[in-house]
Amino acid sequence: MESKNIMKEAHQVAETVTRELSEEELSKLLADTDCIVEFKQNKLEAEAQKNWDLFYKRNTTKFFKDRHWTKREFEELACTTGNLKDRLILFEVGCGVGNFMFPLLEDNPNLYIYACDFSPRAVEFVKSHSLFDAHRCTVFECDILKNDVTCNVQRESVDIATLIFVLSAIHPDKMVEAVQNVSKTLKPGGQLLVRDYGLYDHAMLRFSKGHKLAECFYVRQDGTRAYYFSLEKFDAIMEEAGLQKTSSTYIQRSTINKKEGIDVPRIFVQGKFTKPS
């Protein structure tokens, strides 16, 4: 993950081809063949919520940076007609402590946000944020693999749903199910906006042996998990969940690690997917 203390953005490029690996990087990846045993994998799956909740207990609101890039990357979020009858309804899934939603609420008076996370601590942090306004947002605890989201967000009522660095935390076998659950809330023609970790991201190449769960899927020291998407896998999940691709791309972002004085190649996938009318 990207801690807010050590990273500084330099520049980014959109690409449709996978990042090329150096020989050293390739041989490190090829040598990491052994996956964690099934018993331990099942435990991580069963304790996913607990591990994320402990993450927020340790890091409180201090880990992720506010995401001020979102309107630049997804122009649909900037729609400001000022007409309150035509409020834009957004559903942010896996909201964490609100680094995505609060900059948007501040910038766009026309927005109403539903936001959920399965970490009770994260939800509490959102509710106690200085910009939290119960007239402009509804925040609730929800595991998108266990709870039907339409218990809190009306079916086909949402213009835009977002999954920002959330799908990667979910077991690859359950990603389609997660997207289908979220998609129920989208209006026909509504859009799902997604940004997540991409194949051969710097963080993927840093995992040492003993952290691999499956191809492209790893566990961090704290028990939270991360999947690194190829564009093919990314698009296939959305298609299987019944959404149509509007766009999808790799984002290659060169980031300076101030602490170590090195240039860090971050790779993300980013896409817009539409619910058919």
Catalog residues that contact ligand SAM under the rule CB under 6 A: 52, 64, 67, 94-96, 99-100, 117-119, 122, 143-145, 164-166, 169-170
Q: How far is the CB of 154 from ligand SAM (least distance, A)?
A: 19
- Residue 29 host element (H or E): helix 23-31
- Distance CA(200)–CA(216), nearest Å, equals 9
* Smallest gap from residue 65 Cβ to ligand SAM (A): 8
Give the residue with the Cβ less far from ligand SAM, 25 or 45: 45
Q: How far is the CB of 249 from ligand SAM (least distance, A)?
A: 18
The bridge status of strand 262-274 relative to strand 244-257 is antiparallel
CB of 80 to ligand SAM, least distance (A): 22
**In angstroms, what is the minimal distance from the CB of 56 to ligand SAM?**
7
Tokens 């520049």 identify what position?
11
Give the C-alpha separation, 135 to 129, whole Å. 14
Distance (Å, rounded) from C-alpha 89 to C-alpha 139? 13
Identity of the residue, 165 or 250, whose beta carbon is nearer to ligand SAM in the bound complex:
165
Residue 196 dihedral angles phi and psi, to the nearest 5°: -160, 180
CA distance 163 to 137: 17
Query: CB–CB of 249/18 below 8 Å?
Result: no
Closer residue to ligand SAM, CB minimum distance, 206 or 209? 206
Q: Report the distance separating Cα 197 and Cα 203, nearest Å.
A: 9
Cα 242 from Cα 249, distance rounded (Å): 19
- Which of 1/21 has CB closer to ligand SAM? 1
Q: What are phi and psi of 20, to 5 degrees?
A: -80, 135
C-beta closer to ligand SAM: residue 165 or 273: 165
Q: How far is the CB of 14 from ligand SAM (least distance, A)?
A: 19
Q: How far is CA 19 from the centre of its chain?
A: 20
Q: What is the dihedral of CA 255, 52, 61, 67, to 10 degrees?
A: 40
> Smallest distance, Å, CB 118 to ligand SAM?
4
**CA atoms of 145 and 174, how far apart (whole Å):** 8
| Residue placing its CB nearer to ligand SAM in the complex, 84 or 130 | 130
- Closest to ligand SAM by CB, 25 vs 73, is 73
